[in-house]
């Protein structure tokens, strides 16, 4: 690092293997709650008093994406303490907010580092920061940059302007794909407990659980946490639970058809699968609303209030039918 930056905390634009491994682990829920970095003011390149000041959260994956896209630039990066939460979620929670921004300016001595009085905040942090209040309390003007860090270079090189597309939140196939590992992990944590209980009941001779039961449930987990999120734009309906029910029903019909063709299941068992499997996939797909970029809190609450009782009813009925089928 250049000598001119020796007095400042520094950040490199190059990500190490450790950085990339940490992000991969966080995607799979490993150490997710600890995947953060110390809040403060960091120098990238060799910034001076005229260099721009960008603001972000202390979720390390966010910081890594930002610094990776600022290679070759002299930048001040002001990292707020958002308790290891990304910008958008932290803005909604209040940790990426006006008070933290003003406090971090004071704690880092930013006023002595730069001669200008302008901060560049991510657009998705706008809900948490009151620009006029921040300026009144700190003296710094707040300018909102693009949504994605990959567009920051364009923003800086074009007089802090962006293309209209840079103001729109996208939720492409890749965007959805990278979110599915965490959904799978959460679902499997629950299902492993269910499988454990099923195995114990089977071992004790209380319920003769079959391999088809395990495979059917695993398929529903896969459908609800992976297939449905990827197919989201093309599935009918607006409610995520309905979309998951559709894909789950297709899976259930496939399982029923296979077992029926082999003559290896009674009709009650087949009916139970038609109730249980779509219910599970609907539930897990509904959980993906928390990762979606186009669902609102009120919309999610409304869907849960409507769908959850139906899911629980169908699931309970299916379990009861399956238990009865063991004894016929």
Look up the CATH number of the domain holding residue 84.
Answer: 3.40.50.11600
Question: 151 with 45, same domain?
Answer: yes
Residue 40 lies in a domain: yes
Token pair listed for 164: 């209209």
Q: In whole angstroms, how large is the CA radius of gyration of the chain?
A: 25
Boundary of a domain, candidates 148, 166, 184: 166
Is residue 159 one of the residues assigned to a domain?
yes
Among candidates 211, 191, 192, 209, which has minimal Cα distance to 201?
Answer: 209
313 within domain boundaries = yes
How many Cβ atoms are within 10 Å of 37's Cβ, its own excluded? 17
The pLDDT score that the predictor gives to residue 5 is 55
Same domain, 43 and 149: yes
- Asked whether residue 224 falls in the same domain as residue 146, the answer is no
Q: Write down the pLDDT at residue 263.
A: 86
Global confidence as pTM: 0.85
| pLDDT by position in tens, the chain (length 328) | 444 555 679 999 999 999 999 999 999 999 988 899 999 999 999 999 999 999 999 999 999 999 999 999 999 999 999 999 999 989 988 999 999 999 999 999 999 999 999 999 999 999 999 999 999 999 999 999 999 999 999 999 999 999 999 999 888 999 999 999 999 999 999 999 999 999 999 999 898 999 999 999 999 999 999 999 999 999 999 999 999 999 999 999 999 999 999 888 899 999 999 999 999 999 999 999 988 877 777 888 899 999 999 999 999 999 999 999 988 7
Are residues 192 and 135 located together in one domain of the fold? no
Residue with tokens 């302008």: 118
* Shared domain check, 194 and 245: yes
Residue 2 lies in a domain: no
| Domain final residue pick, 124, 146, 166 | 166
CA distance 285 to 318: 19
Q: Is residue 3 part of a domain?
A: no
| Positive or negative: CA dihedral 272, 275, 278, 281 | negative
260 and 212 together in one domain: yes
Do residues 284 and 225 touch, judged by C-beta distance below 8 A?
Answer: yes
Instruction: Looking at the structure, tell me whether residues 242 and 137 fall in a common domain.
Output: no
Together in a domain, 236 and 321: yes
Q: Other CB atoms closer than 10 Å to residue 253's CB: what's the count? A: 15
DSSP state of 76: E
| Residues 125, 104: Cα–Cα separation, whole Å | 15
- Where do we find the tokens 């599915």? 180
Q: Answer with the one of 126, 145, 166 that is the final residue of a domain.
A: 166
Q: Look at residue 261 and tell me if it is in a domain.
A: yes
Q: Are residues 178 and 150 in the same domain?
A: no
Retrieve residue 270's tokens.
């087949």
* Separation CA 93–CA 286 (nearest Å): 21
Q: Strand order in 75-79's β-sheet?
A: 9-11, 40-44, 75-79, 53-56, 118-121, 141-144
In a domain, 5, yes or no: no
| Residue 57 structural domain | 10-166
As for how many domains the chain has, the answer is 2
Query: DSSP for 153-171?
Result: HHHHHTTT---GGGGS---
Per-residue pLDDT at 2: 46
| Residues 114 and 150 both lie in one domain | yes
Domain shared by 305 and 203, yes or no: yes
Could you tell me which residues come within 8 angstroms of residue 303 by beta carbon, excluding any fewer than 6 positions away? 239, 240, 241, 286, 289
Distance CA 187, CA 183 (A): 6
Give pLDDT, residue 291: 81
Q: Residue 258: which H helix or E strand, with range? A: helix 240-262
d(CA 200, CA 206): 9
Residue 1 lies in a domain: no
Q: Residue 67's closest CA among 49, 42, 47?
A: 42
In terms of domains, do 199 and 252 share one? Answer: yes
């Amino acid at each position: 690092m250049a000598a001119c930056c020796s007095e400042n905390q520094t950040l490199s634009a190059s990500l190490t293997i450790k950085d990339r491994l940490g992000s991969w682990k966080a995607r799979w829920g490993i150490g997710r709650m600890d995947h953060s970095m110390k809040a403060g003011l960091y120098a990238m390149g060799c910034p001076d008093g005229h260099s721009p000041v960008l603001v972000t959260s202390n979720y390390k994956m966010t910081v890594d994406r930002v610094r990776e896209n600022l290679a070759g630039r002299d930048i001040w990066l002001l990292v707020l303490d958002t308790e290891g939460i990304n910008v958008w979620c932290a803005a909604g929670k209040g940790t990426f907010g006006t008070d933290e921004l003003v406090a971090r300016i004071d704690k880092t001595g930013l006023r002595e580092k730069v001669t200008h009085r302008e901060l560049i905040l991510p657009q998705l942090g706008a809900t948490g920061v009151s620009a006029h209040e921040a300026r009144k309390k700190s003296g710094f003007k707040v300018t909102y940059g693009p949504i994605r860090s990959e567009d920051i270079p364009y923003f800086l090189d074009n007089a802090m302007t962006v293309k209209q597309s840079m103001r729109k939140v996208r939720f492409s196939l890749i965007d959805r794909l990278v979110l599915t590992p965490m959904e799978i992990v959460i679902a499997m944590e629950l299902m492993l407990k269910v499988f454990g209980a099923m195995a114990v009941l089977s071992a004790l001779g209380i319920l003769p659980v079959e391999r088809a039961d395990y495979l059917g449930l695993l398929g529903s987990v896969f459908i609800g946490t992976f297939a449905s999120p990827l197919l989201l734009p093309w599935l009918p309906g607006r409610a995520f639970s309905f979309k998951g029910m559709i894909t789950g029903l297709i899976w259930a019909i496939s399982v029923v058809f296979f077992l029926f063709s082999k003559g290896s299941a009674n009709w009650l068992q087949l009916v139970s699968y038609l109730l249980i499997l779509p219910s599970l996939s609907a539930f897990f797909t509904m959980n993906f609303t928390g990762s979606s970029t186009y669902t609102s809190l009120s919309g999610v609450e409304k869907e849960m209030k409507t769908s959850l009782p139906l899911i629980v009813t169908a699931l309970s009925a299916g379990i009861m039918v399956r238990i009865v089928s063991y004894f016929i």
